[in-house]
Amino acid sequence: MIKAAIIGATGYAGQALLGILTRHPEVDVMHIGSRSYDGERIDRVYPLYRGTLDDTCQNLSVRELADSADVIFLALPHGIASAQIDEKVLDKTVIIDLGADYRLNDVNIYEKWYQVKHESPALLASAVYGLPELHRAEITQTNLIANPGCYTTCSILTLAPLIQAGLIDIDSVVIDAKSGVTGAGRGETLANHFCEVNENIKAYKIASHRHTPEIEQELSLLSDKEITLLFTPHLVPMNRGILSCCYAKATEDLTADKLAEVYRVFYEGEPFVRLIGSASPETRWVKGTNLIDIGVTFDPRTRRVIAMGAIDNLYKGAAGQAVQNMNIRFGLDEKTGLDFVADFPV
């Protein structure tokens, strides 16, 4: 059994991770970490665990857990993990960071966008961006996995085949994305109150969202030059889910068959990618799963490709992908503990 510890287990992503790991046949959750609920039983914080899990939350550090845990999941805000991880920790255990501290390869870009000092920049060279569809081989070889952001997972996977095949003008990429409210975390803020969110939709962090450089970094690796794109996120009144609609000028006339073949070849054998042709993906069909549904079409009138992706931001966009990374790193079947079918209606 893999001995797993979760730090930040009482946030939305941390709780989703706990729920997956408690059902995982190869994992023993040996630590449920929380600073806010230190000393509280988890079934009192989240009554969904009544009768199944009554462990007490504890506020232990990464260094305290490194000697006993095979893997430590960090579900923490940015700027915290980089101060807690060092080479000694990584010599003892695998770290899967659901935060942003090790996602960007350039420390200057990280500090510019996140406005905090990175406390362990030397570790960036050994960190692997944990998007299995792009970096599976590297994930098997590292003890520091940077779990991608939710918007980024959806947007990168939706666009990657087009970028690699050179089918779109990389200077024309526009991403219009929508997220459920859990993407903002469980902390109390006015903008996330029911009366502020219900019956409303709004764009936010226009031209300034911190996932932008992450998307640009990963798509640039698939291209022959640096990509700069426009990314606009929106908040919609639903609990969970992300829909990314991506637009770009085509570099040639395209057909539905050509697009379908490009995506089929790129994602052949990927267990969590569902290609739905030119249909429009919907968040309800991926909610509660580690799947991404991708649809793509060509508009001959405007000579633009419209690629669309849908994920559950708490699963493929956070906790599910973290477990997928763990499975790969420890040599398990990638789908272990993650072969969920969406509930409907919900």
Could you give the residue numbers annotated as active site?
150
CA dihedral 165, 167, 170, 172 (to 10 degrees): -160
| One-letter amino acid of 331 | G
Q: How far apart are CA 182 and CA 332, in angstroms?
A: 29
Strands (E), the chain: 2-7, 27-33, 71-74, 94-97, 128-129, 144-146, 174-179, 202-203, 230-235, 242-249, 273-275, 292-299, 304-311
φ, ψ dihedrals at 149, nearest 5°:
-75, 170
What CA–CA distance (Å, rounded) separates 30 from 28?
6
Hey, which residues does 98 pair with through a beta bridge?
Answer: none
Beta strands in 226-320 (DSSP E): 230-235, 242-249, 273-275, 292-299, 304-311
Query: Distances in Å between the alpha carbon of 337 and those of 27, 37, 334, 341?
Result: 9, 27, 9, 12
Residue type, 326: M
Q: Cα–Cα distance between 37 and 57 in angstroms, integer?
A: 6
Taking the C-alpha atoms of residue 258 and residue 6, their distance in angstroms, rounded to an integer, is 44
